Amino acid sequence: MLTTPERIAFVLLALASLLLTAHGVSRIVRAIARGQGRPNWRLFFHRVIPVSLDILLQRPIFRTRPLVSLLHAGVFFAFVFYGLVNILDLLEGFTGFSTLHRSGVAALYNLIADLLSVAALAGMLGLLIRRFGLRPFRFNQRVLLLPSVRFGISRDSAIVGGFILLHVGSRWIGQAVRVAESGQPDWSQPTASLVATLFHGWSEAALTTASHVTWWLALGLILAFLPYFPYSKHIHLFMAPLNLILREARPLGQLEPPPSSDGTIGAERLEQLRWYQLLDAYACIMCNRCQDVCPAHGTGRALSPAALEINKRYYLNRNLATFAGGATSPPLLEIATSKEAVWSCTTCAACVRICPVGNRPMLDLIDIRRALVNRGDPLDPNLQSALESLARYGNSFGKPARQRARWAKELPFSIKDARKEPVEYLWFVGDFASFDPRMQENTKTVAQLFQAAGLDFGILYEDERNAGNDVRRVGEEGLFEMLVEQNLAALKKAQFRAIVTTDPHTYNALKNEYPAYGFQVPVYHYTEVLAELLERGILRVQQPLRAAVTYHDPCYLGRYNRITAAPRRIIRALGLELREMPRHGENTYCCGAGGGQIWMDSGGQERPSEQRIREAVALGDDLRYFVVSCPKDMAMYSDAVKTTGYEGRLTVIDVARLVAVAIGIDGVEREAAPVESEAR
């Protein structure tokens, strides 16, 4: 029980603290509200229960780092429960109500509080030891960091960690003191009772003082911490759930049109980002998981998605009053990230998928690109010529549209012209599969497989254009729209039931982006079609293949669209032994070609594709094939096996070629590298 002066002091302090806190929170709300667009609050009611459940189960956190996630879970569950604990402790301070030595529900409460206190202390200590002892959070030298960030992250972590230790620790010791005061152990508080033995021999007065001091340290500390709370990383407690709840219900593979404000298309400054991109900064807990999975950061480039969010947060914290009041922010390229970083993003979305608080740093990068492209900022020369070719010819190869279906002339049969006769499947072949000589063999193989299966399919011939997936992601929205219009005009001429694509990028565009332009048709990837043809016995395996293979999930197939089973079903149907790389399925690692990177100079560093080949090689000396299902992967990995010196040991092969060998399509067996078949 507190003394009367203590009660008055607490109430006054609480009022002051809440006022200051409210002031801070309102600034942050006003700052976030400066972002473009407004949240759709109706989502709140749909999402609040499922998201709360996710959070209670800590599902977003356990996607990776199991041990650290466990520590986090300890702190998290303690925190949730401490809401109740703090209220009851407050009650105890003011009224003397106590759960000490009670039975029933109160005992259960005591037990949980006691155990969670230890879990929180252990968890927090573990997290602090990790952060300060192991120092796992490093940015590579090229990453732009605000000066305030370098020191700030450690300071904020220390404050928040210290607060939790002190708050929970004081409450825990306070309980021990109270147990000691009562003179006998409370079996519903085993650890507190254990600690209570330390206070043997203390005078009653000393124990009373200790009880008051720990009460104040536990609850008074909250009042001291509260005004700082909105500025601390601890605010992720509220911002992260809010972020997860208010996320637009939009497929990962569909971008919003660029934000547009004061004549700027895209985002050059903070306030030109959307509101949720500003919220991202406050949801971020600086765990750097996004950086760990980022192929650009992993190959020494200047991009760190984590640094982007952290920079935004620190800039805002330092300039919150002026920014919330309407001041113009400096360019994002000065305070958030660098131009080099913006142009190293492969849009693989690994950062988006891994983020436990629902942040999407990739979208910021794309919006900055949009602004750069629109402002006429000089582009990488290769990118520029690719865009010019796309505008002129509809492909990035600078080849006349008329040559698009040239590969088809080399087939022993002719492919239906979908513009002239109805077909069941419209095959949208894509640029790389159509024009790159290394890919054309695969393309012909796919055609032969479709033909062998008696599939009723056709192509758009010279009317097909690049679907625009990567054009949109380099920030050239106008060109993307032009390509969409041209493709829609061509598609309008054709009659078909469904689309099948070779390229996962094309798949993503047609499946997720085109519906926004009124195009709603079932879209399949060719691996889905082949898997079904094999399983239904329409394509029959003549010679099961015997080799150990691994399969690389393309980002735009595996992660964006969760098509991970179909290619694996094919591989198994052919009799191959599939060995998974550590990063597979939705956790796949980017080949480095996406988001327009395939058109840009990498700057001569190690490529993600080379790291990936090493990852595959580590699966065993007898691993024969690196199986791909994306023409860009074929290009990237064929190069990477050469540059890593594994040519001859590991063969990069398209899954369609393996199918062709297994079902015995004429001409393919000779060209494909010799696969051991059961017949031999």
Q: Is the Cβ–Cβ distance between 75 and 127 less than 8 Å?
A: yes
Select 186 or 477, whichever has its Cβ closest to another protein: 477
Q: Is 373 in the site for another protein (CB under 8 A)?
A: yes
Stretch of 160-168, 222-230, 246-254, 380-388 lying at the interface with another protein (CB under 8 A): 380-388
x/- mask, another protein, residues 303-322, rule CB under 8 A, reads --------------------
Tell me the closest approach of the beta carbon of residue 379 to another protein, in angstroms: 5
Of 216, 493, 186, 236, nearest to 357 (Cα)?
A: 236
Q: Residue 677: helix, strand or coil by DSSP?
A: strand
Q: Which of 83, 183, 537, 604 binds another protein (CB under 8 A)?
A: 604
Query: CA nearest 260: which of 249, 250, 271, 251?
Result: 271
Cα–Cα separations (whole angstroms), residue 460 to 302, 418, 507, 519, 538: 41, 6, 16, 16, 25
| Least gap, CB of 388 to another protein (angstroms) | 7
Please pick, from the candidates 2, 324, 379, 539, the single residue that binds another protein as defined by CB under 8 A: 379
CB atoms within 10 A of CB 155: 10
Cα-trace Rg, the chain: 30
CB of 15 to another protein, least distance (A): 54
- CA–CA distance from 252 to each of 248, 249, 352, 556 (Å)? 10, 9, 9, 10
Query: CB of 380: closest distance to another protein in angstroms?
Result: 10
Binding mask 450-489 for another protein (x = CB under 8 A): --------------------------xxxx-xx-------
Beta-sheet pairing, 548-551 with 623-628: parallel
- Give the whole-angstrom CA distance, residue 297 versus residue 337: 13
Q: Alpha carbon 151 to chain centroid distance?
A: 26
The smaller minimum CB distance to another protein, of residues 182 and 382, is found at 382
Helices 105-128 and 147-182, interaxial angle, to 10°?
Answer: 150
Query: Measured between alpha carbons, how far is 603 from 406 in angstroms, rounded to an integer?
Result: 33
Minimum separation from the CB atom of position 266 to another protein (A)? 10
Range 433-452, binding another protein (CB under 8 A): 437-438
* Residue number, 437 or 582, with CB nearest to another protein: 437
Q: Which of 54, 340, 388, 577 binds another protein (CB under 8 A)?
A: 388
Residue 88 is inside which H or E element, if any?
helix 66-95
Binding positions for another protein, 187-216, rule CB under 8 A: none
What is the 8-class DSSP label of residue 269?
B
> Which of these ranges, 13-21, 339-347, 391-399, 612-620, lies near another protein under the rule CB under 8 A?
391-399
Whole-number minimum distance, CB 482 to another protein, in Å? 5
Q: 112, 73 in Cβ contact below 8 A?
A: no
Q: Closest separation between CB of residue 162 and another protein, Å?
A: 49
Gap between the Cα atoms of 436 and 438, Å rounded: 5
CB-nearer residue toward another protein: 223 or 479: 479
Cα 60 from chain centre:
11
Between 422 and 478, name the residue whose CB sits nearer to another protein: 478
Q: Does 391 bind another protein (CB under 8 A)?
A: yes
Helix (H), strand (E) counts: the chain = 30, 11
Stretch that binds another protein, among 202-210, 372-380, 581-589, 655-663 (CB under 8 A): 372-380
Which of residues 28 and 386 has its CB atom nearest to another protein in the complex? 386
Return the range that interacts with another protein (CB under 8 A); candidates 1-9, 224-232, 376-384, 462-470: 376-384
Interface positions, 625-654, toward another protein (CB under 8 A): 639, 642, 647
Are the C-beta atoms of 117 and 25 separated by less than 8 Å? no
Query: Which amino acid is residue 210, in one-letter code?
Result: A
Residue 409, C-beta contacts closer than 8 angstroms, at least 6 positions apart: none
By CB under 8 A, residue 606 contacts another protein: no
Residue 381 found at the interface with another protein (CB under 8 A): yes
Residues in a beta bridge with 427 = 500
Cβ–Cβ under 8 Å, residues 185 and 175: no
Please pick, from the candidates 140, 384, 486, 495, the single residue that binds another protein as defined by CB under 8 A. 384
Among 378, 518, 537, 582, binds another protein (CB under 8 A): 378
Residues 146-175 as x/- pattern, contact with another protein by CB under 8 A: ------------------------------
State in angstroms the smallest separation of the CB of 386 from another protein: 10
Q: Which residues contact 639 (CB under 8 A, 6 or more apart)?
A: 609
What is the full DSSP assignment across 123-183?
Answer: HHHHHHIIIIII------TTS---HHHHHHHHHHHHHHHHHHHHHHHHHHHHHHHHHHHHT
Binding residue for another protein (CB under 8 A) from 128, 160, 244, 265? Answer: 265
Q: Which is nearer to another protein, 671 or 676 (CB)?
A: 671
Q: Rounded distance, CA 273 to CA 266, Å?
A: 8
Of 186 and 476, which CB lies nearer to another protein in the complex structure? 476
- Closest listed residue to residue 548, CA positions, set 624, 645, 640: 624
Structure-block tokens of residue 160: 């928040």
Query: Closer to another protein at the Cβ: 104 or 604?
Result: 604
What DSSP assignment string belongs to 346-379? ----HHHHH-TT---HHHHHHHHHHHHHHHTPPP
Query: Measured from the CB of residue 410, what is the shortest distance to another protein in angstroms?
Result: 13
Q: Which is nearer to another protein, 23 or 392 (CB)?
A: 392
User: Nearest distance from residue 308's CB to another protein, in Å?
Assistant: 24
Burial of residue 58, with CB atoms counted within 10 A of its CB: 0-12 exposed, 13-18 middle, 19 or more buried: middle
In this chain, which stretch among 186-194, 305-313, 341-349, 392-400 interacts with another protein, using CB under 8 A? Answer: 392-400
Interface segment toward another protein; rule CB under 8 A; list 108-116, 168-176, 247-255, 381-389: 381-389
* Chain positions contacting another protein, by CB under 8 A: 265, 373-374, 376, 378-379, 381-382, 384, 387-388, 391-392, 398-400, 402, 437-438, 476-479, 481-482, 601-602, 604, 639, 642, 647
